[in-house]
Amino acid sequence: DVAGRRAVVLGAGGAARAVVHALGLAGAVEVAVANRTAERAVTAAELAGAAGRALEPSSLREAV
């Protein structure tokens, strides 16, 4: 059960986007997406709704 929890997703490809979307629907309070390309991380994070946020690769250590 991920409701009320935080999650970090590495990557922004098709499988990662599906996971981000599912986490958002399941009620995660924060879904952070890290990707080499910032624009793709933002696009993927938007799939989690208000819970989504994009991470800069350099801030990954802070997220986990």
**What CATH code is carried by the domain that includes residue 29?**
3.40.50.720
CB 51 within 8 A of CB 28: yes
The alpha carbon of 23 is separated from its chain's Cα centroid by a whole number of angstroms, namely: 8
Type of residue numbered 54: A
The residue range of the domain holding 20 is 6-63
Residue 51 lies in a domain: yes
Question: What's the pTM value of the predicted model, to 2 decimals?
Answer: 0.89
Write the CB contacts of 58 (distance below 8 Å, at least 6 apart in sequence).
none
Three-state SS at 61: helix
Residue 46 lies in a domain: yes
Q: How many other CB atoms are there within 10 angstroms of residue 16's CB atom?
A: 19
pLDDT band at 57 (very low <50, low <70, confident <90, very high): confident
Give the number of domains in the chain.
1
Residue 1 lies in a domain: no
pLDDT band at 49 (very low <50, low <70, confident <90, very high): very high
Residue pLDDT, tens place only, 5-48: 999 999 999 999 999 999 999 999 999 999 989 999 999 999 99
The confidence score (pLDDT) of residue 63 equals 64
Residue 53 lies in a domain: yes
